[in-house]
């Protein structure tokens, strides 16, 4: 098993869904095979920023041939989670040693490799930087035990043996469900600026805690992931109705209200009956996830 970087570009010609599958040509097959059941880091350009960035992590599970395109494959992924912020590839002197020449300039040949291996120390440095930001707005309800470390890495996650970091404590932390829930909530509330997508309300209590909640479109227990594209910022009541299939969304983000509602909720919702979504297309709810909610949850 090996950690690796996967290059991904928004609106790529490849059939990617970063949280679930990565599409690649046969030339990278042997490299991708060595990553199976290990963690990869996504890297590439962003629509609204210059340069290239590390943006998220996921764990590879299996490889299948593309049935529609010769000599192309899919590697399927689980445990996807976005970084707190995009990490510019040049910051802190660069996270990948081979990405730079001795004179400090980018190594052009190496940067062109869409799949490239990471050293353990490089992977750890990316993880620590990617999840280093504390949640500006604490949760409205604190369901964590006092000694729960879900909101950040434990101080002893770095165990050094002969100058090498031990990876397992980091891995244990990023698969920890409370940690992932806290990060998902942090990312969704930041992305929607603490505003409910269905009502536009931004309610803050006396301690500065937002009322808005982070809702999974496909619940984790039903195969959903922690990508922001599988999330919406919803107020408590709307979240309850969304989870029970009384509200849903079209692919164009029009709000759907179920006929099974025994009261008219239109006065609670945005007057144009359209949800507020992020400006950046790659952060908006994924149409496949919305289709799942309409087909599996919504009580039309």
192 in the same domain as 116? no
- pLDDT band at 12; cut points 50, 70, 90: confident
Final residue before a domain boundary, out of 103, 120, 137: 120
- Least Cα distance to 228 among 199, 192, 202 occurs for 192
Domain assignment present for residue 126? The answer is: no
Residue 45 lies in a domain: yes
DSSP-derived 3-state class of residue 184: helix
Domain of 250 in residue numbering reads as 187-296
Q: Are 214 and 233 in contact (CB under 8 A)?
A: yes
3-class DSSP state of 94: coil
From CA 59, how far away is CA 19, in angstroms rounded?
9
3 and 112: one domain?
A: yes
What confidence score (pLDDT) does residue 137 get? 75
**Residue 87 above 90 pLDDT?**
yes
Q: Is residue 102 part of a domain?
A: yes
The pTM (predicted TM-score) of the whole model is 0.85
Which residue matches tokens 């999840």? 131
For 287, left (φ over 0), alpha (ψ -120 to 50), or beta? Answer: alpha
Residue 292 lies in a domain: yes
Q: What is the CATH number of the domain that holds 105?
A: 3.10.590.10
Residue at 40 is within a domain: yes
Q: Which of 5-9, 38-42, 78-82, 159-163 has the lowest mean pLDDT?
A: 159-163
116 and 191 both lie in a single domain: no
DSSP letters for 195-264: --TTT----B-TTS-B--EEEESS-GGGT--B-GGGEEEE-HHHHHHHHTTSEEE-TT-BEEE-TT-SS-
| Six-digit token string for 171 | 């891995």
Residue 149 scores a pLDDT above 70 = no
CA 49, 53, 55, 61 dihedral sign is positive
Count of domains in the chain?
2
- 3 state SS of 292: helix
d(CA 255, CA 268) in angstroms, rounded, equals 12
Q: How far apart are CA 5 and CA 20, in angstroms?
A: 16
Q: Which residue has the higher pLDDT, 105 or 18?
A: 18
Q: Which of 87, 120, 153 is the last residue of a domain?
A: 120
3-class secondary-structure state, position 183: helix
Residue 145 lies in a domain: no
Q: Does residue 105 have a pLDDT over 90?
A: no
């Amino acid at each position: 098993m090996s950690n690796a970087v996967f290059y991904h570009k928004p609106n790529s010609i490849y059939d990617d869904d970063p949280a679930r599958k990565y599409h690649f040509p046969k030339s990278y097959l042997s490299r991708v095979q060595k990553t199976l059941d290990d963690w990869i880091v996504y890297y590439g350009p962003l629509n609204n920023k210059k340069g290239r960035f590390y943006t998220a992590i996921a764990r590879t599970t299996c490889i299948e041939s593309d049935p529609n395109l010769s000599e192309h494959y899919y590697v399927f992924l689980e445990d996807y989670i976005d970084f707190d912020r995009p990490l510019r590839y040049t910051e802190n002197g660069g996270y990948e040693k081979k990405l730079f020449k001795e004179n400090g300039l980018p190594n052009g040949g190496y940067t062109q490799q869409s799949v490239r291996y990471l050293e353990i120390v490089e992977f750890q440095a990316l993880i620590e930087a990617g999840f280093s930001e504390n949640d500006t707005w604490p949760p409205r309800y604190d369901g964590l035990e006092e000694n729960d470390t879900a909101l950040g890495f434990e101080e002893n996650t770095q165990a050094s043996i002969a100058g090498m970091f031990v990876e397992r404590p980091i891995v244990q932390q990023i698969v920890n469900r409370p940690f992932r829930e806290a990060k998902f909530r942090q990312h969704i509330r930041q992305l929607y600026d603490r505003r409910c997508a269905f009502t536009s309300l931004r309610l803050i209590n006396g301690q500065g805690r937002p009322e808005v909640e982070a809702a999974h479109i496909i619940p984790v227990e039903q195969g959903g992931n922690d990508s922001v594209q599988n999330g919406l910022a919803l107020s408590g009541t709307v979240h309850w109705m969304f989870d029970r299939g009384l509200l849903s969304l079209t692919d164009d983000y029009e709000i759907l209200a179920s006929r099974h509602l025994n009261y008219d909720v239109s006065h609670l919702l945005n007057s144009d009956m359209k949800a507020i979504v992020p400006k950046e297309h790659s952060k908006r709810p994924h149409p496949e996830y919305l289709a799942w909610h309409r087909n599996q949850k919504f009580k039309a």
